[in-house]
Structure formats: structure tokens, C-alpha cells
Structure 1
Amino acid sequence: MSVLLRVHDLAVAYGHIEAVKGLDFHLNEGEITALVGANGAGKSTTLLALSGLIKASRGKIEFQGEDISRLPAHQIVERGLVQVAEGRAILTTLTVEENLQLGAYTRQDKEGIPASMEEVYQLFPRLKERAQQFAGNLSGGEQQMLAIGRALMAKPKLLLLDEPSMGLAPIVVQEIFRILVEINRRGLTILLVEQNVRQALKIAKHGYVIETGKIVLADSGANLLANPKVEEAYLGG
């Protein structure tokens, strides 16, 4: 199993406060990895650093063997590392289709975009039904589907997802996670940041537990689900 992303001693500070304190972890190609922990543990900050949206104060991020630590965010997207932001960040005054087209903005292979659009519509039939509607008129679940679909339009090699279940009804959460498993089955590597720890670890091959900016546990998803410490802290055990 080849390593797609390797992170060494990653630290991120907001002013004098260190939010992420020297993380070491890696992602294997073709797997779902979960990064779980309580609110404020440093999960979202870690993703923003990987995406180049905030600068690390130290450490190294290697993607496909290349050091991307100092690259600007748009160049990181061009290399295939794409993030779905917390809160979805869709453009509400554009149509569903226009949002999806924006996802393909950095692509050089313009002739391949219609096929990608069709793939997204196969994964999310509801988006096809609403293709010409304004994104602001979609339900929360549909907006989350659109955010994931827009990221897929960039043809990522690694998809970073920040709290995809946030604010959604349980039945919609089940659907989102089912689609993530399907996307992964098609070969896409996923790093999933999630407060819904049980749901995330159920679908993850590997997991890392982060507390106050440090990784405190690393194991397979199944082992972490069965770990009494995880159960007590996060699963209401």
C-alpha cells in the first residue's frame, strides 16, 4: 500500500496560541482515514494547513512524494488535493450546474468536464433534478451533496472532508456516508474530519484521535470503535 500523504511535525499557531502541536500521520492511497476528536481539538485547522489555506508554523507536508508545505492553495488543488469546507461554502446565487462547473476551474482537460459532470449526477441524482435551480434553494443535505460534487469536479486524488454530517438529519447523514463509501470504492482516497465519531470510524480503514492539537491514538477504524477510551470519551460509553 503506497503512502499518498505524509505529514511530519505539523504545527499551526494563531498568534501565540498553538492550535496544532506537531502532528505526525500518513494516509494510504485508496483508503478512508478518519481524524476525529472533540470541538476545538485542531481537526479543521489541520485540514486548512494541508490545503494551504493557512500556513503551518513548522513541519512538512508531502503529497505524492512532493513537499507541498509552501505551495499556495490553488497549486495544491491542481496537484489533486481538494477540500470540502465545513459549512459547505457553496455559492447560493449560482445554479447547481454553475457551482459544479466552478469546481473544474483549475482543470486543463476541458473536454473531460462533461463526463465528470455526468458522474456527479449519477452519484447524486437529486442534483441532476435541480441542475438549473439556485443552490441557495437546496436543502442542507442537498447543499452538502453539491459541495462534495463540486470537489469531485476537480478530479481529486485526495478528498478532504470537514464535518460533512454537521447539521443534517440522521437519514441524510446515512446517505452522505453511503456515497462517501461509494466514492472511495471507485478509488478516491479520503481524509474525513468528523464529530460524529461512530459514523466516521465505521467507514474508515484507519483513524487518528486528536486532543488539544495532538494525536493521542492511532489504529484501525474498527479497533478505535472498540477501544474503551474512545467509547468513554466520544461514543457515550
Structure 2
Amino acid sequence: MSALLTVSQLHVAYGHVKAVKGIDLALEAGKVTALVGANGAGKSTTLLAISGLIKASAGSVMLDGEELRSASPHHIVQKGVVQVAEGRAILGTLTVQENLDLGAYTRRDKANIAADLAWVYSLFPVLKNRAKGLAGNLSGGEQQMLAIGRALMARPKILLLDEPSMGLAPLMVQEIFRIIKEINQTGLTILLVEQNVKQALKIAEHGYVLENGEMVLHDRGANLLNHPRVIEAYLGT
């Protein structure tokens, strides 16, 4: 396996509360990896630690052999690790176009930025149709598309997706997962955090199951879908 990013013995605490307790995971280049578990398991905390938005108390985050644990969030983005936050975090008082432009803020390659914008608009035609409108007027599903599109404008090596299906109608959930698969087919490495365990494991090459801050299972996504512990805890019978 060619690991693009490796997390080793990662510990994260909020005061005296240990949220992540010495977990290991590896992202294979060009693949979708799912990190699943119940609410409060430590999934989002793990993403925030990888992104540098919170600081791990111990452990290692290695990107292509470079340690990121002590790096600043903007440096991590410049290195190609870009997160789509839970709740989307779009800037509602700016236009759709302005939100996308901000995604490319760290870049200076104007021709490639223009090409990436055209690609984002091909992925999300509704955004092109509403480019001059305020982002705050978009529906929840459209805002999620905008959040993903904005992250893609940074031309990431690794895309971190935190609960992209949260709060969306079933048809929009299906569309978001279809788009995630399409993005991955371009070769982009994706780490997907999801409470929708079935959908996440269906599209993931590899999956990790996090419970109470500890990694309890990891395997191919298809294998985890059929694992008795996963079925009992997350999928029902």
C-alpha cells in the first residue's frame, strides 16, 4: 500500500477529556478512506488535528514523509491537505463566485485556477447558474456543494470531508456521495468522516471504526459492511 498520509499514535485532549486515544490510520494515495463511528467518537477531532486546527498532545501526522503535527493550518493547506468543515462554513454574505475564489487564495497560477473553476462548475452546474447570488441563499445541499467546490479550488492532494451528508434530504445525500466518487476518480485522495456508515463504507476502499476515541476495527470497506460488530452497532439487521 502506498500511504500518502500516515497518522501514528495520535492523542488529542480537551482539557482533562481525552477525545482521541492513540489512534493509527493511513490514507492510500488515490483512494477513499472512511472514518466512521457514532456521534462523539472522535472523528471530527481527528480531522481537526490532521488539519492543524487543534493541536494533538502526542503522536505524528506524516504527509509524504513530512511531519505536519506542529505545522500551522495555513501551511498544511499549502501542503495540499484541505478540509471541508462539518456544517459547511460557507460565507453567506459573499457570492458563490467569491466563496470559490477564496478557495484559491493561496494560489498564483491563474490559468490553472480558471481551469479548476470550470471543473468545479461542471461538477456542480447549480453553482454556475447562481454564481453571482449570495451563498447564504443556497439550500443546504447547494451549500454543501459550494463547500466542496471551494476546497477543490485549493487543488488539494488530500480532501478531508467532515459529515458531508449531515442534514440533507435523502436524494441530496445520494447526489453528494455520487459526486465524492466522481471526484475520487480523478485521483484525489479522500478521507471521509461520516455517521452514514453504510453509504461511507460502500464507496470507501478502506475503513476505520472509531469508538470513544479508540480505533476498534479497520479493514476494506466492503468487509466492514459485512462485519457483525458494524452491522449490530451501525447498520441494524
Report if TM-score (shorter chain) is over 0.5: yes
How far apart are 1:236 and its partner, in Å?
Answer: 1.6
Q: Secondary structure at the match of 2:178?
A: helix
The alignment covers a number of residue pairs equal to 237
Q: Distance in 2 between matches of 1:156 and 1:49?
A: 17
Residue identity matched to 2:56: A
Q: Quick one: distance in 1 between partners of 2:103 and 2:39?
A: 28
Shift of 1:108: 3.1
SS at match of 2:215: strand
Matches of 2:158 and 2:107, distance apart in 1: 15
Deviations 1:41-61 (A, max 9, x none): 000000000000000000000
* 2:90 aligned counterpart, secondary structure: coil
Bigger shift: residues 25-34 or 105-114? 105-114
Distance between the aligned counterparts of 2:66 and 2:134, measured in 1? 39
Please report how far the alpha carbon of residue 110 of structure 1 lies from its aligned counterpart in structure 2 after TM superposition.
2.9
Structure-to-structure mapping, 1:195-234, within 5 angstroms: 195-234=195-234
Q: Which residue in 2 is equivalent to 1:71?
A: 71
Q: Distance in 2 between matches of 1:64 and 1:4?
A: 6
Quote the Cα distance in structure 2 between the aligned partners of 1:106 and 1:215.
Answer: 34
1:23 and 2:23 aligned: yes
Identity of aligned residues (%): 70
SS, match of residue 21 in structure 1: strand
> CA-to-partner distance for each residue in 1:177-207, whole Å, 9 max, x for gaps?
0000000001100000000000000000000
What is the rounded CA distance, in whole Å, between the counterparts of 1:234 and 1:6 in structure 2? 26
Q: CA deviation at 1:114?
A: 1.0
Structure 1, residues 118-146: CA drift from partner, whole Å, max 9, x if none? Answer: 00000011110110110000000000000
> Would you identify which runs of 4 or more consecutive aligned residues in structure 1 move more than 4 Å?
none
Structure 1: runs of 5+ lacking an equivalent: none
SS at match of 2:21: strand
Cα deviations across residues 66-91 of structure 1 (Å, max 9, x unaligned)? 11110000000000000000000000
**Equivalent residues in 2 for 1:64-103 (5 A)?**
64-103=64-103
2:78 & 2:173 partners in 1: Cα distance? 29
- TM-score using structure 2 length: 0.99
Across the aligned residues of Structure 1 and Structure 2, the Cα RMSD in angstroms comes to 0.6
The secondary structure found in structure 2 opposite 1:11 is: strand
Provide the C-alpha distance between the structure 1 equivalents of 2:8 and 2:99, rounded to a whole number of angstroms: 34
* Number of the residue aligned with 2:157: 157
The amino acid across from 2:236 in the alignment is G
Q: Secondary structure at the match of 1:107?
A: coil
